[in-house]
């Protein structure tokens, strides 16, 4: 569970490090220093998520389990971005 929460937070920060997602989520422009901070923290949290999975299940099973955790952590963000965005006008 902790590994999933860390991965979810890491993916959220990586999404906020992208200009389009940042503007969608927070409604403001993204500054370069903040973008670098979000990226570093996002990758750091993903790495910490892997460490927690390996600590719980060992290196072999933990790495494979972590791949599943990444999928489960990315899914809510993907669904939120897909279904909470108003449709584009043509």
> pLDDT 10s digit of each residue in the chain, 90 long?
899 999 999 999 999 999 888 888 888 888 899 899 999 999 999 999 999 999 999 999 999 999 999 999 999 999 988 888 776 655
In a domain, 89, yes or no: no
Judge whether 90 and 27 are in contact, CB under 8 Å.
no
In a domain, 88, yes or no: no
In a domain, 14, yes or no: yes
pLDDT given at position 90 = 56
User: How many domains is the chain built from?
Assistant: 1
- The count of other CB atoms within 10 Å of the CB of residue 74 is 17
The sign of the torsion formed by the CA atoms of 66, 71, 75, 78 equals positive
Domain interval for residue 31: 2-83
pLDDT given at position 29 = 86
In a domain, 31, yes or no: yes
CA 67/CA 7 separation, integer angstroms: 10
């Amino acid at each position: 569970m902790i590994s999933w929460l860390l991965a979810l937070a890491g993916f959220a920060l990586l999404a906020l490090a992208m200009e389009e997602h940042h503007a969608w989520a927070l409604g403001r422009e993204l500054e370069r220093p903040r973008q670098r901070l979000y990226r570093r923290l996002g990758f750091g949290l993903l790495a910490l998520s892997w460490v927690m999975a390996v600590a719980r299940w060992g290196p072999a099973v933990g790495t494979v389990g972590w791949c599943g955790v990444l999928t489960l952590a990315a899914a809510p963000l993907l669904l939120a971005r897909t279904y909470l965005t108003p449709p584009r006008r043509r």
